[in-house]
Amino acid sequence: MVDSVDIVRLDGTGAPVLSGAAGGTAPGLMIRYRHGFGGLKRLFYFRQDLANGSMRAGSPLLNFVARQGAPPVLLKSASYLMHDGRFSVIKNFILRNSAGIVQDPSGVPWRDLAASGLDLRLYGDYQGTLGIFSQQPDLRAAYQSGRWPAQPVDFGFGYLFRPSNTSIIVARRR
């Protein structure tokens, strides 16, 4: 049950500050809620440009996420942004700081996951992607190699949302 929704912004250190109006650095929402008989929990939503120019080291949003410890990350239908060098800051931050990543192929490129030292698991079947996005022949090779035996999935996830062509990558710290 939702208790409250407040407009917040992040100060320079990444601490959320209640804000009477939208604006400021990384404007967002803080949703306070309860699940069952559990205690009050908070969910934050921030609107943020994730391109390198907005995500320099020490930016309020990166500081906020760093304060959360090593959070798990879900990347779904991420427009292949982290395949472009203009989004390397957020990609590298995720690779260095997350406890784990669950994603479709549109998140962190396979080549970067494979080089990261994370424990990798494949699910479904990678058959390429929509024609407007770049393909990942190295991911296709990973599925075919048998080194990471893919487990089947019976649901859709990501741009190619049919179970028969869904690809899910799970990366975890060792």
The sign one gets for the Cα dihedral 60, 64, 70, 72 is: negative
Which range (50-54, 70-74, 125-129, 143-147) has the least confidence?
125-129
DSSP state of 99: S
Tell me the torsion sign for CA atoms 62, 63, 64, 65.
Answer: positive
Report the half-sphere exposure of 19 (CA within 13 A, side-chain side): 18
Mean pLDDT for the stretch of residues 2-22 = 87
User: What is the pTM for the complete model shown?
Assistant: 0.86
Q: Per-residue pLDDT for 21 more than 60?
A: no
Q: pLDDT at position 24, please?
A: 56
Model pLDDT, residue 38: 84
d(CA 77, CA 107): 7
Domain residue limits, the chain: 1-68, 73-174
Mean pLDDT of 128-143: 87
CA angle 72, 78, 83 (to 5 degrees): 100
Residues 48-96 have pLDDT tens digits of: 899 999 888 888 999 999 999 999 999 999 999 999 999 999 999 999 9
CA distance 155 to 168: 11
Q: What percent of the chain has pLDDT over 70?
A: 96
Considering the chain, what is the average pLDDT of its residues? Answer: 91
Instruction: Check residue 151 and give its pLDDT.
Output: 96
Task: Give dist(CA 142, CA 131) in Å, integer.
Answer: 20
